[in-house]
Amino acid sequence: MTSSKTNDRILLAVFSVLVLAGPIILAPFGAGYPDLLQKFAIYGIFAIGFNILFGLTGYLSFGHAAFLGVGSYAAVWMFKLLSMNVIPAIVFAVIVGGLFSLLIGYISLRRSGIYFSILTLAFAQMSYNLAYSVLTPITNGETGLQVTLDDPRILDGGAAGQPFSNLFGLNMIETTEVSILGMAVQFNAGFYVCAAILIGCFYISLRLFRSPFGMMLKAVKSNQNRMSYTGLNTRPYTLAAFVISGMFAGLAGGLLAAMDPLAGAERMQWTASGEVVLMTILGGAGTLLGPVLGAGLIKYFENIFSAINEGVLMDFWSFLPETLQHAVVSVSSLFVGEGWHLTLGLIFMVIVTFLPGGLIEGASRLGRLVTNRGKGENGAARPAPAPAE
Amino acid sequence: MGTPILQVQNVNKRFGGLKALDDVNLTVMENTVHAIIGPNGAGKSTLLNTFVGRLIPDTGTVTFDGQSLIGRKPHEINQLGVSRVFQTPEIFEDLTVAENVMIPAFAKRDGAFRLHGWESMSREAEIRDRALACLEDVNMADRRAMLAKNLSRGDKRRLEMAMCLVQEPKLLLLDEPTAGMSRADTNNTIDLLKQIVAAKSITLAVIEHDMHVVFSLADRISVLAQGHVIVEDAPQHIKGNPKVQEAYLGGAHL
Amino acid sequence: MDAILLQILNGLDKGSAYAMIALGLTLIFGTLGVVNFAHGALFMLGAFCAVSIDKLFSMEMVALSATETTAWGTPLEIRTLYVEAWFGDFGQWLNEWSVLVSILLAIPFMLLVGLVMERGLIRHFYKRPHADQILVTFGLAIVLQEIIKAFFGANPIPQPAPDALSGMADFGAAVGMQAGAVVYPMWRLVYFLFAAAVIGAVFSFLQFTTFGMVVRAGMADRETVGLLGINIDRRFTMMFGLAACVAGLAGVMYTPILSPDYHLGMDFLVLSFVVVVVGGMGSLPGAVAAGFLLGILQSFASMNEVKQLLPGIDQIIIYLVAVVILLTRPRGLLGRKGVMEA
Amino acid sequence: MANFTISRRGLLKTSAVAGAGLAAPMVWRRPAYAYTNEPTGSSVILGFNVPQTGAYADEGADELRAYELAVEHLNGGGDGGMLATFSSKALSGAGVNGKKVEFVTGDTQTKSDAARASAKRMIERDGASMITGGSSSGVAVAVQGLCQEMGVIFMAGLTHSNDTTGKDKKANGFRHFFNAYMSGAALAPVLKSNYGSDRKAYHLTADYTWGWTQEESIAAATEALGWQTVEKVRTPLGAGDFSQYLTPVLNSGADVLILNHYGRDMVNSLTQAVQFGLKGKQVNGKNFEIVVPLYSRLMAQGAGEAVKGIYGSTNWHWSLQDEGSKAFVKSFGQKYGFPPSQAAHTCYVQALLYADAAQRAGSFNPCDIVAALEGFEFDGMGNGPTLYRAEDHQCFKDVLVVRGKENPTSQFDLLEVVDVTPAEQVTYAPDHPMFAGGELGQCNPGA
């Protein structure tokens, strides 16, 4: 058992290094700018939290975006009323996300399976529809809640000028641009706040997965009947998982607002809830790293593929002869720019068809294949592997 | 000996027009092996279901250790000290054999719910040792790292037994523990159950078809027919009882 | 009274669409056990069958005018309908009744789409977790709608109903009320009758044909029917085609009510899942009943009197009803135990 | 195909690492810019943020076409379009301030979040000096706020809510498009002369901020004519089927239905209203009428037959016969084969106005550009003499009142201009109650 502990330490260390070096690693892929890096980290947190519920207990919530949304609203209200410091905003976002998920979870967890999914979906859609319309005094409706010059901000005193979210004076939009190996690499304060929290969240999730509590959640997924006849009350376990993942979602929402002080109602729409489901399944539900990978993949497509226009394509294919170039550009332009959804849809289909269990499962299968080849026939004698993590 | 641990009084249960349990009365004494036998459809499993909170009787009382079981949830009843082995093994298929046994061990130690999310499994040496000991008891220690779903049917049964035993229940309910087992496995199971009864202070209530098992284990037998207890007596008195023969053979006297 | 009657008609109309989509969704779910997130896309494809036929019938011969020019300097184009040029009055009739004519195209087309989808993709996902089914069908839905967008653009495309059916019908007079008190668009009445006919046809097909009986038996217990030596798989494939057809037809006939665009399917997807679940997973009558129930409740919640009492109620009524029903009836209106509960 | 360009920094970052860094020192810090994304090379980058997915994707595509045309014209390509008719002659087709104009694009998805994310990418990664585009007010307000924070100029695309230059106005943001108040003020006299002053109006309003300001503006304008407002009913965004909101209109005693909807909502509510026989119905001895305050050609296309004879207002229409409009329609039509929409027009004009301001200021510093645009008066852009008012950064110009054409000659010829309401009639005080609250603040150059 000590070896698995060492493995976990290595996993955490590698994860941390990769996250912290994100700006350098992602720069060659055109994804090394602050906003997208922040989004990677924030949606990583969201998906990690969602995975604690869905990956471990198997309860598929279709309304998790609601907690992200209320987290954002809570954070922006903190910015408006209290201070532009991100700490109270984030803390309040987590609390509100937790309370809201406690309420919805308490009701929805009375049902299981698809009935549970639809209950969560219904609550989230109600939140979204109301936030968009009649709750506008609180949410500022379609436009989204923003900080303005004349907000009270009692802790900040009468600080004049444009308000920026900050951590004790360090503005979240503060960016240092450095050239490394000829690449312009942007180190952004906000990203490192997100990254630190992401690493913390990953560590929490690791602890949960390795804890008796995590085992209980897996047991819920495996056989609820046996749980009850074993003297365990499944409801508080599932509710705890639901609230924890709701708090993660609230945290993610709070961070979104901390990086960019705006909270829009679309964050609560079912498509946003569906997105985190897709992230988790795509990466690998029930695995530690999968959700983060899935979140990264989807956000990358949304931000990078949508920005490729014909000009960029012409440039990319410029090594081809001109006639061929035009043909290739017109074909490939179907998949980028305004066609980025098409690529996303195809990727979903390809990954789920050929890599059942998501990216991580696919990678570990590939890994097993390689090691088995290397070991020859020895591989067959090994004990059955535990679920990939 | 001599204290009743489970008392069933005037229990009735209807499913639509079918009277599944008809005024059942039954007393299980502490530290005995009590077998419940009867032909198919006699209501044996239904009766067991009323003990664990899966079914609530229409009327009547079920008292365990001086406390009523009626209206209690399954997990509450288990926490009182009642464990059950099912006819088709109910185990955690997606977990390893060792984890399957550790979960009930946690339930015994920590109660129905505990938010132990920050502790590490690797530090739970005590639980692990107890689980392994139980697996040793059922001769499954070597399979502890396997996923439960990959076990053979017989092993699943024994695993479920270990999951119940690790809780050191006061009352262990067994629903056909040897169904579908080979003669050798059946004898192993009988030996195992005998050891358990000898080593621990435990009460067993067994539903069984195999008379060999029943008569090797039981201190007392209740015979159920058409939802009604027709005889409750010591094994030696059951064998020649005409009522029992009638119930099983539809009146054809032997 | 008139207002209430009108809202009931509105509700029935909305309910018709919900019920038809939910019926198909339940057929797929009940027979194949597959959660089909691409079902909304099938509805949308049906609508675009109508659009394509309409486009085909409105294809124009283009001749460049010698004298006039457009505002941007190119010669003005003079256009005549091909169908009119070729078929004369019949062509005009075709163009006029294109929505109904497109049913003829939609049936084989949607059947084909359904079969290809089942054989080519869904088949591989029967034994996979529901999460995987959701992911792959959602991916397919996106792909289908993006293809439609690439061909037809993102703007809604108007589909007029045939002139003869686009007026108002005096519904009140027909049921013995004062003339003119309750008038209702003819096409919407047609839509309701059409939905009733389709739903009736599906039910009688399942009830009265051997094919249907086998399918129903298979829905209840797939393994046993398989053991009887009946090739249930092929029948289930046909059911997928049938479900696609129902969704497609619902889409075709809906186009004069709602100008279709590529996103139409997604708009109906969530709603149709709510309908199916409220009706109870795996229950065909439940799906139909829930469709009409939610349609009517939605209409009533939008009445000014109700809105003044509860602002915003029309925004959430569907979901509110879903929550209430699921909390009071654990498996929806008519759901079976054990279906999709784990 | 002269305008296939790529951002210099985008290229740098999207290209592979290998080899690129050999000549450069291992690590250097970015030089301190005087303002955000100061163009230091031979080109200036503009960020075109338009909806490419979602309900307004077609409108977004048209906006993008207009921007590409504008870039072409600014760099001296094509026939120059409106540069020839624009009253300011600072631009010569040789780029701006001696720099070639390049552009990057992004997808707003018509969601505030996504729009801000894509604007941020263009500012942070691609080095855009200005962001423009969009097809809804929520997005415009959200992106305008972002540009204010990050210190770049925002030239709004299609946004019609009063709030954009009202309570949510920002010093770095500019709107050329007209607004809900102007729609009401422009429509009122036409409605009066056609429908009289004794009318009962029933409002169906999209239940979000734009809908509300539209409803408030048109209700105020019509009530000033003496019209009664019978009922104002809010409908959920994206309702699809509006039948449950339309049937109460039938017996409400109202004789005018005002549809404060845009986009798909408008297409659906209008076609369905016509289906319910509202057009041509007789109420109170008058013909029942439908009014759609904000029209666009793309929506008219979606609504098909239903638009015939329906009044509304629009920012611009391609059939206008002034020199500027003709020049623009000509170069757009020749390049793409069909006439531009009003969204395309406002975006094209905004791009030119920004370039002109930068040229006149001799700088891309947002504060210099703000100074150049504030109070700027110009002509030759299709709307007659126009003022960019300094107090709220709103353009004041003539507003078109249009009507759905009875006998369209093509799928683009759906609206006819019935009246042009002069600018003075639609002008309001900067502190008008519908625009109150919020302050412009100081221009922010960022960095």
Q: Across the A/C interface, how many CB contacts are shorter than 8 Å?
A: 130
Shared domain check, B176 and B62: yes
Shared domain check, B135 and B17: no
Q: Do C72 and D240 make contact, defined as CB atoms within 8 angstroms?
A: no
Q: Do C146 and A345 make contact, defined as CB atoms within 8 angstroms?
A: yes
Nearest to C136 among A121, A125, A349 (CB): A349
Shared domain check, B190 and B75: yes
- Look at residue A375 in the predicted model and tell me its pLDDT: 52
- Look at residue A384 in the predicted model and tell me its pLDDT: 38
| Whether the Cβ atoms of residue D141 and residue D170 lie closer than 8 Å to each other | no
pLDDT tens string, chain D, 447 residues long: the values are: 333 333 334 333 333 333 333 333 344 444 456 788 888 889 999 999 999 888 888 899 999 999 999 999 999 988 989 999 999 999 989 999 999 999 999 999 888 888 999 999 999 889 999 999 998 898 999 999 999 988 999 999 999 999 999 989 999 999 999 999 999 999 999 999 999 999 999 999 998 889 999 999 999 999 999 999 999 999 988 888 899 999 899 888 899 999 999 988 999 999 999 988 888 888 888 899 999 999 888 888 888 888 999 999 999 999 999 999 999 999 999 999 899 999 999 999 999 999 999 999 999 999 999 999 999 999 999 999 999 999 999 999 999 999 999 988 888 888 999 999 999 999 999 999 999 888 888 898 886
- For chain D, which chains pass the contact test of at least 3 CB pairs under 8 Å? A, C
Fold of A2-268: ABC transporter involved in vitamin B12 uptake, BtuC (1.10.3470)
Which residue, B168, B188, B212, sits at the end of a domain?
Answer: B168
> How many angstroms away from the CA of D155 is the closest CA of chain C?
25
Mutate to test the interface with B, among A215, A230, A238, A247 (most CBs of B within 10 A): A230
Please state the domain count of chain B. 2
Nearest to C146 among A54, A111, A339 (CB): A339
pLDDT digits (tens, 9 = 90+) for C183-220: 888 899 999 999 999 999 999 998 899 888 888 777 77
Q: How confident is the model at residue C303 (pLDDT cuts 50, 70, 90)?
A: confident
| Residue C71, domain member (yes or no) | no
> In the predicted model, is pLDDT for residue A378 greater than 60?
no
User: By CB neighbour count within 10 A (0-12 exposed, 13-18 middle, 19+ buried), where does C15 fall?
Assistant: buried
Q: Do C274 and A122 make contact, defined as CB atoms within 8 angstroms?
A: yes
Strand order in the sheet with B220-225: B82-85, B171-175, B203-207, B33-37, B220-225, B228-233
> In the predicted model, is pLDDT for residue C238 greater than 70?
yes
Q: Do C256 and D275 make contact, defined as CB atoms within 8 angstroms?
A: yes
Give me the phi and psi of C46, to 5 degrees please: -60, -45
| Whether the Cβ atoms of residue D147 and residue D174 lie closer than 8 Å to each other | no
Q: Which D residues in the span 91-130 are in contact with A, Cβ-Cβ below 8 Å? A: 103-107, 111-114, 116-118, 120-122, 124-125
d(CA C3, CA A186): 63
Q: Do C166 and D275 make contact, defined as CB atoms within 8 angstroms?
A: yes
Q: Do A314 and D21 make contact, defined as CB atoms within 8 angstroms?
A: no
Q: Do D268 and C3 make contact, defined as CB atoms within 8 angstroms?
A: no
Alpha helices (H) in A158-309, listed in sequence order:
189-210, 212-222, 224-229, 234-259, 270-283, 290-304
Please state the domain count of chain C. 1
**Residues ≥6 apart with Cβ < 8 Å to D271:** C158, C259, D303, D304, D306
Domain that holds residue C144: 2-59+84-328
Looking at the DSSP bridge assignments, the partners of residue D386 are D378
Q: Do B115 and A5 make contact, defined as CB atoms within 8 angstroms?
A: no
d(CA C257, CA C159): 8
> How many angstroms away from the CA of A254 is the closest CA of chain C?
26
Element (H, E) at C313: helix C313-328
Cα C68-C71-C75 angle, rounded to 5 deg = 35
D159 touches chain A (CB under 8 A): no
Q: Which segment of A82-96, A120-134, D236-250, D343-357 scores lowest on mean pLDDT?
A: D236-250
Nearest to A352 among C135, C150, C266 (CB): C135
Q: Do C315 and A348 make contact, defined as CB atoms within 8 angstroms?
A: no
Query: Nearest Cα to B220, choosing from B29, B21, B15?
Result: B29
CA D213 and chain centroid, separation: 16
Chain D residues close to C263, C-beta within 8 Å: 54-55
Upper half-sphere CA count for residue A93 (Cβ side, 13 Å): 31
Q: ipTM value, please give it.
A: 0.89
Helix, coil or strand: residue D172:
coil
Shared domain check, B183 and B59: yes
Domains in chain D, ordered, with CATH? 8-17+32-178+319-397 (3.40.50.2300), 181-314+402-426 (3.40.50.2300)
Q: Which segment of A180-189, B209-218, C90-99, D300-309 scores lowest on mean pLDDT?
A: C90-99
**Residues ≥6 apart with Cβ < 8 Å to D6:** A311, A312, A315, D102
| Residue C194, domain member (yes or no) | yes
Alpha helices (H) in D76-132, listed in sequence order:
112-124
- Look at residue D9 in the predicted model and tell me its pLDDT: 40
Q: Do C332 and A115 make contact, defined as CB atoms within 8 angstroms?
A: yes
Chain C residues close to D329, C-beta within 8 Å: 71-72
d(CA A42, CA A52): 16
| Residue B86, domain member (yes or no) | no
| Residue C198, domain member (yes or no) | yes
In three-state form (DSSP H/G/I as H, E/B as E, the rest C), the secondary structure along chain B is: CCCEEEEEEEEEEEECCEEEEEEEEEEEECCCEEEEECCCCCCHHHHHHHHHCCCCCCEEEEEECCEECCCCCHHHHHHHCEEEECCCCCCCCCCEHHHHHHHHHHHHHHCCCCCCCCCCHHHCHHHHHHHHHHHHHCCCHHHCCCEHHHCCHHHHHHHHHHHHHCCCCCEEEEECCCCCCCHHHHHHHHHHHHHHHHHCCCEEEEECCCHHHHHHHCCEEEEEECCEEEEEECHHHHHCCHHHHHHHHCCCCC
Q: How confident is the model at residue A109 (pLDDT cuts 50, 70, 90)?
A: very high
> In the predicted model, is pLDDT for residue C299 greater than 70?
yes
| Residue B87, domain member (yes or no) | no
| Residue B250, domain member (yes or no) | yes
Top pLDDT among C303 and D332 is at D332
> Do the chains A and D touch each other, judged by at least 3 C-beta pairs below 8 angstroms?
yes
Chain A residues close to C320, C-beta within 8 Å: 122, 126
Strand bridging mode C75-81 / C60-69: antiparallel
Chain C residues close to A361, C-beta within 8 Å: none
Low-confidence stretches of chain B (pLDDT < 70) are: 1, 249-254
| Residue C46, domain member (yes or no) | yes
Chain C residues close to A105, C-beta within 8 Å: none
- B63: domain CATH number is 3.40.50.300
Query: Nearest Cα to A104, choosing from A74, A66, A69?
Result: A66
Helix, coil or strand: residue D38:
coil
Which residue, B136, B168, B200, sits at the end of a domain?
Answer: B168
| Residue C310, domain member (yes or no) | yes
- Look at residue A246 in the predicted model and tell me its pLDDT: 97
> How many angstroms away from the CA of D302 is the closest CA of chain C?
5
| Residue C315, domain member (yes or no) | yes
What does the block give as tokens for C308? Answer: 């003044």
d(CA D384, CA C251): 46
| Residue B25, domain member (yes or no) | yes
The chain A residue lying nearest B114, using CA atoms, is: A213
Chain A residues close to D436, C-beta within 8 Å: none
Q: Which D residues in the span 34-93 are in contact with C, Cβ-Cβ below 8 Å? A: 54-58, 61
Q: Which D residues in the span 295-334 are in contact with C, Cβ-Cβ below 8 Å? A: 298, 301-306, 318-319, 326, 329-330, 332-334
The chain A residue lying nearest B119, using CA atoms, is: A211
Shared domain check, B103 and B37: no
Q: How confident is the model at residue C239 (pLDDT cuts 50, 70, 90)?
A: confident
> In the predicted model, is pLDDT for residue C116 greater than 90?
yes
The dihedral of CA C274, C280, C284, C289: what is its sign?
negative
D335 touches chain A (CB under 8 A): no
Q: Which segment of A312-316, B154-158, C19-23, C145-149 scores lowest on mean pLDDT?
A: A312-316
Domain that holds residue B119: 93-168
- Look at residue A158 in the predicted model and tell me its pLDDT: 61
For chain C, state the CA radius of gyration.
22
Chain C residues close to D409, C-beta within 8 Å: 76
Chain D residues close to C151, C-beta within 8 Å: none
- For chain C, which chains pass the contact test of at least 3 CB pairs under 8 Å? A, D
Which residue, B168, B202, B230, sits at the end of a domain?
Answer: B168
